[in-house]
Amino acid sequence: MEIRSGSRWVRRLLPLLPIALALLLLVWDGSAQQGLRNYQFDQFQRWHPRAYTGVPVRVVDIDEQSLARLGQWPWPRTRLAELLDTLGAAGAAVVAFDMVFAEPDRTSPRAAAAQWNLSGRERDALLALPDHDAVFARSLEQTDAVLGFAAVRPGDAAAAVPAAPPLPAQKARFVVAGAPQPGWLLPFDGAVTSLPALESAAAGNGAMTFVPDGDGLVRRIPLVLRMGEAPVATLVTEALRVAQGVRNVVLKSAGYDSGLAEIRIGNLTLPVTPQGELWVHYSRPVAERHIPAWQVLAGQAPAEQLAGHIVLVGSSAQGLMDLRFSPLGLMPGVDAHAQALEQVLGGQFLQRPGWARGLEALVLVVSGWLAAVLALRTRALRAAGGSLVFLAVMGAGAWWAFVSRGLLLDAATPALGLLLTYLVCSLWQHRHTERAQRWIRQAFARYVSPNRVAYLVAHPDAMALGGRRQICSFVFTDLTGFTALMEGMDPAQAVSLLNAYLDAMVAIAFRHEGTLDRIVGDAVAIMFSAPVQQADHRARALACALEMDAFACAYAARLQQQGHAFGQTRIGVHCGEVIVGNFGGSTLFDYRALGDPVNTAARLESVNRQLGTRLCISAAMLEGNPQAAVRRVGQLLLKGKSQALEVFEPVNGEGTGRAPLPDYALAFDAMQREDPQAPELFARLALAWPHDPLVQLHQRRLGAGERGAHMVMDEK
């Protein structure tokens, strides 16, 4: 079947549709794509978490044991001052409190005096004691410390936020390198801050706020936020700044209206997202990261674990509810800040570079186009295998980039585009192939039996070499006088007449669900009960032969009226056990039957010429046609056979010049018994029915001195 030009254009342009759709998804970057991409990044982290290294970052943990030893939270600010003084004396580079001191200490003397309703000397003595917040403020002044605040928006459910929340005190000075990018920073309206006296005393003040993704996982930590149009620092940024003793934080843009590219704090350069966030490569929980707060206060903390370290003070106690979800599971919020600091000091960054999306788009287009070529031009298994290879290469490339370069490259969206392209092209190719196969099947069925085509499509194993034994019926036909017809008319016209004859003969066979075994010149061979077994194959074969005989007589008569001597059709019908299968060899498919019954049917067709009949069937055929009207021909010893075969001639009952069946049967029985009256009986029939070929045959035989119904046929 010739492929139309329209189909060729479809094959060329079809891949563009799914590839364009996948590119649109990549550029649009909706929540579904982000979720798919984040799932890939999370899985990479689970397979390859960051290895913990001994960088100078520690968490002083207000854990369950510290609360059990020192009392429930909140602790008096004097105890926090003691903790801060101890850490400062131990040589901590900076102490960052991952908590907010928004309200005065309720255990301070003034608050206690008001609460206990004291009077006189007791109240004066209590008020003479130092205020706890003042004590904590003095400790903050004497030690490099950073306080935290909670960045909020109006109506934030996490806290009671006023309509116009206050702005936090700013300790850092921001320097913009390149075009200002305030619109890219994560926006907030204000903050829940620590007491002004504490803010003023601290060296740094940073936001503790996390901005989880839609699924609640913290994958990035902001280093800078926006309140109004001004940037504000976060706890991690302030801890790094104060630890280095610098004031400036440099915000370097990625280009015009492209967000941030990096943040510089002292000697440190931090690659960030356009929104100013740091991707966190989490490590598994390790005991070395934490020091219980009670050990520090008891003087039991090793000095080498504090000196020169960035120390974060936070809590892992579940009752304080400072817990966050990460790709590796649940963890305290202070641990997320600690791990971000470990990455920075260890130089182990995760980055999603600005060129990542362009590379992903290129990979999507190339792999999608290759998958489309495979789907449209190769076999299904090879196309599927090739597409799987492309998917594996994309996944392996993204994995290698993550492990060896710390790059976050999205293989999920290109893989989705590749699968979409492969699916669309495969479906189109399947539809196109199915149409082609249907066309071939229809065209093939004009020359090969429809039942054989359907059977081989449903049972392709039948095409294997070899065969199986089964009983089949066979109809062989041959046309006499066609050579003379070719000599007497234009060859093209003769071929046209022959084709019309063969088309009709084959159509008759197909109507009876016979299998066309072969056409050789003007001869046709039909097989029944193969490849599809038919319990009534004898009845089908006889009915087919009778209809063929009727058609052939009518066709020849019609042509003779037109002046064309078309000739007579001879038919032989027999059945028996044969081997049916593919006997064409490994390079040629030839599904046929082999066995003596096939040759016998052919002999029965040719013996018509010697008998003067048109249609002969064997006794084996009558087993499936007990009601058939037939008359016996005799016991024929066919050419090349050692045993005689009982042969019959079907009687159509159409008044074709034959002797009445009872009269013929009476004469035949006498002949078979070698009754002396047999010659006289056939002589009478011959006079009455001069055009009955069997009557004339037996009359001649008996007149020549032969006896019985046994005849030797010495011609093929």
3-state secondary structure of 345: helix
Strand positions, DSSP E, 387-514: 466-479
Closest CA to 168 of 127, 136, 209: 209
Q: What are phi and psi of 305, to 5 degrees?
A: -90, 0
Pairing of strands 630-637, 645-650: antiparallel
3-state secondary structure of 301: coil
Amino acid type, 505: M
Helix axes 596-611, 693-703, angle to 10 degrees: 80
Closest CA to 473 of 572, 406, 552, 547: 572
Distance, in Å, from the CA atom of 518 to the CA atom of 521, rounded to the nearest integer, reads: 10
pLDDT on residue 2? 40
Beta bridge partners of 630: 650
Closest CA to 343 of 313, 310, 372, 314: 310
This model's pTM is above 0.75: no
Low pLDDT (below 50) residues in the chain: 1-6, 157-158, 447
Distance, in Å, from the CA atom of 93 to the CA atom of 98, rounded to the nearest integer, reads: 16
Distance, in Å, from the CA atom of 57 to the CA atom of 204, rounded to the nearest integer, reads: 17
Closest CA to 179 of 287, 275, 84, 257: 257
- CA 625 from chain centre, in angstroms, equals 55
Closest CA to 346 of 98, 49, 48, 52: 52
Place of tokens 């390859």: 48
Q: For 307-347, how does the pLDDT look when each residue is reduced to its tens digit (9 = 90+)?
A: 999 999 999 988 777 889 999 999 999 999 999 999 999 99
Beta bridge partners of 225: 232
Amino acid type, 474: F
Beta bridge partners of 519: 524
Amino acid type, 106: R
Q: Which two tokens stand for residue 633?
A: 């021909």
Amino acid type, 334: V
What are the residue ranges spanned by the domains of the chain? 5-45+360-443, 51-346, 449-625
pLDDT on residue 592? 83
pLDDT on residue 86? 95
pLDDT on residue 530? 85
- Answer for the pair 418, 372: CB distance below 8 angstroms, yes or no: no
The listed CATH number (2.60.120.650, 3.40.50.300, 3.10.310.10, 3.30.70.1230) that belongs to domain 449-625: 3.30.70.1230
For 118, other C-beta atoms within 10 Å of its C-beta total 15
Closest CA to 83 of 241, 311, 309: 311
- Burial of residue 579 (CB within 10 Å: 0-12, 13-18, 19+) is middle
- Answer for the pair 114, 122: CB distance below 8 angstroms, yes or no: no
Name the DSSP class of 233: E
| DSSP for 665-692, written as a single string | HHHHHHHHTT-TTHHHHHHHHHHH-TT-
pLDDT on residue 456? 63
